[in-house]
């Protein structure tokens, strides 16, 4: 745990949805302000066992951060999370896909085991795209029944149809969570 | 993946009997055996629609339909007999959910796949009976439902209330239900009526990662979320009076308790760890599969053996978990009725596992074979006289518990000889999803679901409101269709139908 700085109090806009369709479901359900963009991909991705996150941003860093936020927001209602303390994580992978996988898996782990940490937002501080390493900070608190509404339990991150698209000005990621 | 127009795809499928379809070799590349799936006319429509949707032009990298997944499994090294789809099949990760396949242990090429077990290792159903009848419970139904909800920790982020430290966990992983028995959470008779007597002997907790232990420890004795539930049910119909009597079910209206849960975060992490390891092993051993999600390793490789040992530890975890909740449910009933669980005759009727891989012996073409049988969303259903079923059920066949979804019926079936010959003694496991979770939330109204449940006289306690829509009966295939298909096809036999009166969910 480390101190929360002044600029860390700014919340990012919501740039994700939990399935691909022309309307952003999560934004409506959680009542967040957003600068929502139309999805580029039109796929029929209604899957019966799992949920798919589609997150995007101006840079890959932002898209990864958004993806992490989306996962936490699926577990509880985000407005109830206070940013009381920060939590540092470090992950690495052997390519982009495993890096994203390990990044989300680590966040799922700190939620599921001690310290049961849930983040209001996740900020990537160092993103090494050649050595595939990420240093990130979560801003949130310990999950407490009674304070945080119970959302859906995420069993695991999957590699199923995982996609990372890096384009000038718009980066997108797609991740399927097993729930 | 081979993409052909829908009508060409259909040429590979053939209806063999009114309830059975065959998938011919060539439907997917490298198929070593044929595929088969069991459906009735209604379920058949769902199956083929799914295939038709995936054949639309412009489909890129979407989800594979169930039939394609059955065929991909048929292409795995070492598979014997057939790749089998049960009536509740739906698309899953690698293997479809409701897909079972057996691999020859004596063939050095044979593989074990964590995808063939699923993330929730040893997810299963347990049924307890009571000597109460509906009229005894109706007046206090709400209090009883609330009491169950208060006793059993449910939903995301909940923690177990059974005191556990790291040492206890270690012992529980090795001993399974023997641990519960020693600590006083289970009865000696419970073990008798549980697959494998509630303990996998090849479990080795040293093959389990620290991450899995850390995720597992706080979650032992919790129900979980998603489709997991604890229900108070009453016997609605008895199809086989004699077999029902053997299970201690005497009459219509008798009250039972059903618990559906698994190995929680512990099993999820064991599966995740194994998938990452096997990715590497596949490259090394040059195992070729049709779908990258079918991560697997040779049974005799280090990775394969480590997974089997860790999986068995997770299976033990799940049995301890269900035993702990059985203890809590017994306490809830005892407090409500001011009688001991013994006086209430709260015995375990049976406990089945529907996400597991087991070493079993089966006859193939008259020869006895040692097989590694993967059952993912599929329940073991051994016939009468099989040596691995408890003495109480030697004459009836193994009880098979089929859980419904919120508000729908559940069934007890028994295993048959025909099932043993056709499906390695396996049958369906539940309703099987028909709508995606997202679709359920958009199309189904929260209040409508609650209204409907209250009209049916069902009390409900749910930790997460979103689940009400996602788990509503409309989101699932009709469990009655699924069970009837299994019955008509002869792979298991209907014994008892149960109707819920109170549902406790994550």
Most confident of B16-25, B440-449, B461-470: B16-25
pLDDT, tens only, B107-146: 999 999 999 999 999 999 999 999 999 999 999 999 999 9
Record: contact A49-B218, CB cut-off 8 A: no
Residue A38 pLDDT? 28
- Give the burial class of A94: count Cβ atoms within 10 A of its Cβ; 0-12 exposed, 13-18 middle, 19 or more buried: exposed
- Shared-domain flag, residues B251 and B335: yes
ipTM: 0.86
Record: contact A114-B215, CB cut-off 8 A: no
Between these two residues, B293 and B325, which has the higher pLDDT value? B325
| Domain boundary residue, one of B91, B116, B141 | B116
Instruction: List, as one string, the DSSP characters of B277-342.
Output: HHHHHHHHHT---SSTT---EETTSHHHHHHHHHHHHHHHHHHHHHHHHHHHHHHHHHHHHTS-TT
Q: Nearest CA to CA, how far is B268 from chain A (Å)?
A: 6
- Shared-domain flag, residues B249 and B301: yes
| Residue of B90, B151, B374, B429 with catalytic role | B429
Q: Nearest CA to CA, how far is B285 from chain A (Å)?
A: 20
Give the containing element (helix H, strand E) for B229.
strand B229-238
Angstrom distance (rounded) from CA A165 to CA A173: 6
Among B56, B215, B437, the residue with its CB nearest the CB of A113 is B215
Between these two residues, A18 and B18, which has the higher pLDDT value? B18
pLDDT (mean) for B218-227:
92
- Shared-domain flag, residues B55 and B128: no
Residue A22 pLDDT? 27
Q: How many domains does chain B have?
A: 2
- Shared-domain flag, residues B111 and B157: no
- Shared-domain flag, residues B57 and B139: no
CB pairs under 8 A between A and B: 127
Domain enclosing residue B77, as ranges: 6-116
- Shared-domain flag, residues B43 and B133: no
Record: contact A49-B433, CB cut-off 8 A: yes
B267 to chain A: nearest residue by CA? Answer: A155
Between these two residues, B205 and A114, which has the higher pLDDT value? B205
pLDDT, tens only, B421-457: 999 999 999 887 877 777 787 788 888 888 899 999 9
A52 to chain B: nearest residue by CA? Answer: B438
- Shared-domain flag, residues B99 and B59: yes
Chain B CB contacts of A160 under 8 Å are 63, 93, 293
Does A157 touch chain B if contact means CB atoms closer than 8 Å?
Answer: yes
Q: Do B426 and B470 touch, CB atoms closer than 8 A?
A: no
Among A51, A114, A156, the residue with its CB nearest the CB of B268 is A156
Among A18, A145, A178, the residue with its CB nearest the CB of B93 is A178
Angstrom distance (rounded) from CA A46 to CA B17: 31
pLDDT (mean) for B460-484:
87
Record: contact A150-B464, CB cut-off 8 A: yes
In the structure, what pLDDT confidence band is assigned to residue A35 with cuts at 50, 70 and 90?
A: very low
Give the position of tokens 């963009």: A37
A153 to chain B: nearest residue by CA? Answer: B156
pLDDT (mean) for B304-310:
97
pLDDT, tens only, B363-416: 999 999 999 999 999 999 999 999 999 999 999 999 999 998 888 999 999 999
Between these two residues, B339 and B280, which has the higher pLDDT value? B339
Instruction: List, as one string, the DSSP characters of chain A.
Output: -BPPPGGGGPPPPP-EESS-SSS-HHHHHHT--------S-------SSEEEEEEEESSHHHHHHHHHHHHHHHHS-GGG----EEEEEEEE-SSHHHHHHHHHHHHHHHHHSTT-EEEEEEEEEEEETTTTEEEEEEEEEE--BTTBPP-----EEEEEEEEEEEETTEEEEEEEEE-
Check whether B466 has a pLDDT greater than 80: no
Instruction: Give the number of other CB atoms < 10 A from CB of residue B29.
Output: 13
In the structure, what pLDDT confidence band is assigned to residue B221 with cuts at 50, 70 and 90?
A: very high
Q: What are phi and psi of B266, to 5 degrees?
A: -60, -55
pLDDT over 90 for what percent of chain B?
A: 81
In the structure, what pLDDT confidence band is assigned to residue A41 with cuts at 50, 70 and 90?
A: very low
- Shared-domain flag, residues B163 and B86: no
| Domain boundary residue, one of B69, B97, B116 | B116
| Residue B232 bridge partners (DSSP) | B257, B502
In the structure, what pLDDT confidence band is assigned to residue A32 with cuts at 50, 70 and 90?
A: very low
pTM above 0.95, yes or no: no
B120 known ligand binder: yes
Residue B89 pLDDT? 92
pLDDT (mean) for A86-92:
95
Q: Is B429 a catalytic residue?
A: yes
Does A105 touch chain B if contact means CB atoms closer than 8 Å?
Answer: yes
| Domain boundary residue, one of B81, B116, B151 | B116
Is B31 contained in some domain?
A: yes
């Amino acid at each position: 745990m480390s101190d929360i700085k002044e600029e860390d109090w700014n919340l990012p806009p919501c740039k994700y949805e939990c399935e691909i369709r022309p309307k952003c479901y999560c934004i409506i359900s959680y009542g967040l302000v957003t600068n929502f963009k139309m999805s580029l991909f039109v796929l029929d991705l209604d899957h019966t066992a799992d949920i798919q996150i589609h997150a995007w941003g101006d840079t890959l860093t932002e898209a990864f951060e958004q993806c992490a936020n989306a996962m936490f927001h699926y577990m509880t209602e985000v407005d109830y999370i206070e940013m009381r303390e920060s939590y540092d994580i470090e992950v690495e992978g052997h390519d982009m896909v495993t890096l994203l996988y390990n990044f989300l898996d680590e966040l799922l782990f700190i939620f599921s085991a001690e310290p049961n940490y849930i983040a209001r937002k996740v900020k990537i501080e160092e993103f090494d795209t050649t050595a595939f390493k990420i240093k990130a900070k979560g801003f949130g608190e310990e999950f407490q029944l009674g304070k945080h509404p119970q959302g859906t339990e995420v069993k695991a991150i999957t590699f199923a149809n995982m996609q990372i698209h890096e384009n000038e000005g718009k980066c997108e990621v797609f991740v399927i969570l097993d729930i | 993946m081979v993409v052909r127009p829908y009508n060409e795809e259909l040429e590979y499928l053939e209806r063999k009997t009114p309830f059975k379809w065959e998938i011919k070799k060539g439907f997917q590349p490298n198929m070593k055996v044929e595929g088969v799936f069991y459906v009735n006319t209604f379920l058949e429509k769902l199956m083929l629609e799914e295939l038709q949707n995936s054949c639309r032009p412009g489909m890129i990298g979407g989800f594979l339909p169930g039939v394609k997944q059955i065929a991909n499994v048929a292409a795995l090294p070492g598979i014997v007999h057939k790749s089998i789809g049960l009536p509740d099949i739906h698309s899953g990760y690698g293997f479809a959910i409701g897909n079972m396949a057996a691999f020859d242990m004596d063939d050095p090429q044979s593989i074990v796949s964590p995808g063939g077990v699923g993330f929730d290792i040893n997810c299963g159903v347990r049924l307890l009976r009571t000597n109460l009848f509906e009229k005894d419970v109706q007046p206090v139904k709400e209090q009883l439902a609330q009491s169950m909800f208060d006793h059993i920790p449910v939903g995301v982020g909940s923690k177990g209330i059974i005191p556990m430290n790291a040492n206890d966990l270690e012992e529980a992983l090795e001993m399974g239900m023997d641990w519960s028995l020693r600590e006083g959470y289970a009865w000696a008779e419970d073990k008798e009526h549980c697959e494998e007597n509630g303990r996998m002997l090849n479990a080795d907790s040293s093959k389990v990662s620290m991450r899995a232990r850390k995720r597992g420890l706080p979650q032992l004795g919790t129900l979980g979320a998603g489709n997991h539930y604890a229900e108070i049910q009453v016997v609605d119909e008895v199809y086989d009076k004699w077999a029902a009597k053997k299970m201690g079910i005497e009459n219509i209206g008798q009250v039972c308790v059903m618990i559906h849960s698994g190995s929680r975060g512990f099993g999820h992490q064991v599966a995740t760890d194994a998938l990452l390891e096997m990715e590497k092993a596949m490259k090394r051993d040059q195992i070729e599969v049709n779908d990258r999600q079918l991560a697997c390793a040779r049974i005799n490789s280090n990775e394969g053996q480590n997974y089997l040992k860790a999986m068995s530890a997770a299976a033990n975890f799940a049995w301890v978990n269900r035993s702990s909740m059985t203890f809590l449910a017994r306490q809830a009933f005892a407090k409500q009725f001011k009688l001991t669980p013994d006086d209430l005759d709260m015995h375990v009727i049976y406990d089945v596992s529907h996400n597991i891989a087991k070493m079993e012996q089966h006859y193939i073409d008259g020869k006895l074979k040692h097989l590694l049988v993967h059952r993912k969303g599929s329940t073991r259903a051994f016939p009468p006289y099989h040596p691995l079923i408890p003495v109480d059920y030697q004459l009836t066949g193994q009880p098979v518990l089929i859980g419904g979804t919120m508000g729908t019926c559940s069934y007890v079936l028994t295993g048959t000889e025909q099932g043993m010959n056709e499906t390695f003694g396996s049958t369906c496991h539940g309703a099987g999803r028909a709508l995606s979770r997202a679709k359920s939330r958009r199309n189904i109204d929260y209040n409508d679901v609650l209204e409907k449940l209250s009209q049916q006289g069902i009390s409900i306690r749910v930790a997460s409101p979103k689940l009400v829509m996602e788990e509503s009966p409309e989101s699932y295939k009709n469990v009655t269709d699924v069970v009837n298909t299994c019955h008509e096809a002869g792979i298991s036999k209907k014994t008892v139908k149960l109707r819920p009166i109170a549902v406790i969910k994550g």
